Amino acid sequence: MQSLSNRAKVLEKKPLTLAERAYLPAIFQGLSITLRHFFMKKATIRYPEETRPFSPIFRGLHVLKRDEQGRERCTACGLCAVACPAEAITMVAGERKKGEEGLYREEKYAVSYEINMLRCIFCGLCEEACPKAAVYLQADKMAPPRFERDEFIYGKDRLVEPVSPDARSARGIQLTPEQATALSQKTSPQLS
Amino acid sequence: MIELPTLGWQSIVILVVFGVSLLIATYCTYAERVIAAFLQDRVGPDRAGPFGLLQPLADAVKLFTKEEFFPAGANRALFVMGPCLAMITALMSSAVIPFGNVVQFGSNVFNLQGIEVNIGMLWVFGIVSLGVYGVMIGGWASNNKFSLLGAIRAGSQNISYELAMGMSLIAVLMISGTLSLRDITLQQSAPGEWHFWNIVKQPLGFIIFLVCAFAETNRTPFDLPECETELVGGYHTEYSSMKMGLYLFAEYVNVFVASAVMSVLYFGGFNFPFQYELRSWLVDSQGWELVSAQNLISVLGLLGLFGKIFAFIFFFMWVRWTLPRFRYDQLMRLGWTILIPLAIFNIVLTGGLLLAGVINFGVIK
């Protein structure tokens, strides 16, 4: 019967030659292949001593950036939450009070900003959606495994780029003592 | 009155051989894993100690601390006896292997060999064929169908391949005219020749012997008695803890002994090329005494034999991680319809060549 595609090849089953039946040449062929692999470079990465390098465009754990003066860039516009296909981002917006100009860049800021790392698919759409260049996915950091599900919900305490109160005052930003303690609580993450 | 061999020195040698066989078997487990890893582009165990060299110790500790399990309905006495028998028979056969030539201190001449008996070859084969009892008893006493199947496979396989093995050996014995392993070794050291090893005179016999050695030690591609894809674990399915360890250990001791026997029978044992030239060079131009030169040659020969043994052990593992397992009917067909006729042909060929004078009877120098 002719095949429809005309590409079928008719194979003839030839009787084995003596060398093939003796099986030894085939064995030596196989042995030479495995011996070549014996001397090949090994694929193993010895983990704790060596680590696999991240790709330069790796999308890892999120960070909420500050501007040059150490103020939070995020204005809680919600575009990242809208862009997020996994609906992992929630936030509560608030109005900047007088005297908080050193803390927040715009008049509106995120009182709370949470990313659920179990929902997040690390697609980076939030990063693309952000008009203030506030949220980034770090190329060198991953969300580490944890024991409890609620520990995967990262709040501002763990997301905002840390900056020490001293560094802020070195840049000439005046802080009230309350602001300093509030900031140090925010920037030194208190993991449950 | 039977003259017993002197026991003072020889018992020390036997103890050393015993320890060395166990040590080599221990590190065979490590070597197997490393070689398997290297052949598969991995690195293998490298955590315990430098290069993972303490891995066998860790394995032993693990095996010793496992639960001792006796299956319901098992024959407890035989269940314990199985691994013991396997281990005893594996260890016994290395006693007659000549690991080195004589060394002489003052007027004392020492043989680097456990016991020199004039039936060394028969001893090895007698003991090796007893080895199947350990497997059979263990498999039968487990009261488990998989174990029994594995044991029956082991029994039939070992018996089938022992025939071809013995026949390939007969051709060696026709050349050497002796059963003593020491004499067979010494015959392969004719001064002035380097092509004295039996492998030159018996290439076909060696291949048959090699294939049968694989089958006798239950190594891949003939590891049907324990093939985990068909029989769970074969004859040691029900074994746990160190009883299991003894079975695995016995296999490696068997590999060691088979490698040693192959080195002695076909690869010149403790002889190495140009040993007599080296000795006469030491005596003539370096001013050594003949005795100390011979001692050096013996020690070098000992190391050479171990080099050959390790090469064979590597070959065993290399083959294991290259070839897939035979099907059971293929195994039987290979044994009965190919290897045994080939071995008989080899005997006839050797006889013909001996009669025609192409190869000579061995002469002990």
Structure tokens at A174: 């005046």
Structure tokens at B44: 């293998």
The answer to whether the Cβ–Cβ distance between B322 and A44 falls below 8 Å is no
| B41 vs A: CB within 8 A | yes
What confidence category does residue B365 fall into, taking pLDDT thresholds of 50, 70 and 90?
very low
Distance, in Å, from the CA atom of B236 to the CA atom of B191, rounded to the nearest integer, reads: 49
Sequence letter at residue A15: P
| A6 vs B: CB within 8 A | no
Q: Rounded to 5 degrees, what are φ and ψ at A99?
A: 95, -10
User: At residue B176, does pLDDT exceed 70?
Assistant: yes
Distance, in Å, from the CA atom of B85 to the CA atom of B138, rounded to the nearest integer, reads: 9
pLDDT of B361: 59
Size of interface A-B (CB pairs under 8 A): 38
| B42 vs A: CB within 8 A | yes
Digit-coded pLDDT (tens) for B49-102: 888 888 888 888 888 888 888 888 878 888 888 888 888 888 888 888 888 777
pLDDT of B324: 85
User: At residue B265, does pLDDT exceed 60?
Assistant: yes
pLDDT of B344: 92
What confidence category does residue B311 fall into, taking pLDDT thresholds of 50, 70 and 90?
very high
Digit-coded pLDDT (tens) for A74-107: 899 999 999 999 999 999 999 988 888 888 888 8
Which residues on chain A are in Cβ contact (under 8 Å) with B39?
34-35, 37-38
| A18 vs B: CB within 8 A | no
**Beta-strand pair B108-113/B98-105:** antiparallel
pLDDT of B325: 84
Digit-coded pLDDT (tens) for A125-174: 999 999 988 998 888 888 888 898 988 999 888 888 877 555 555 555 55
pLDDT of A192: 45
B1, part of any domain: no
Please state the rounded mean pLDDT for residues B256-268.
88
Q: How many domains does chain B have?
A: 1
The answer to whether the Cβ–Cβ distance between A44 and B319 falls below 8 Å is no
Please state the rounded mean pLDDT for residues B318-332.
87
Any residues with CB less than 8 A from the CB of B264 and at least 6 apart, and which? B97, B98, B181, B184, B185, B305
pLDDT mean across residues, chain B: 83
Domain span at residue B81 reads: 8-356
Q: What is the CATH number that goes with domain A62-187? A: 3.30.70.3270
pLDDT of B192: 52
Query: What's the whole-model pTM score?
Result: 0.77
Which DSSP state fits B148? H
Which residues on chain B are in Cβ contact (under 8 Å) with A35?
39, 318
Identify which has the larger pLDDT, A170 or A113.
Answer: A113
Domain limits of chain A? 62-187
Burial of residue B150 (number of CB atoms within 10 Å: 0-12, 13-18, 19+)? buried
Q: Rounded to 5 degrees, what are φ and ψ at B336?
A: -85, -40
The answer to whether the Cβ–Cβ distance between A30 and B323 falls below 8 Å is yes
B19, part of any domain: yes
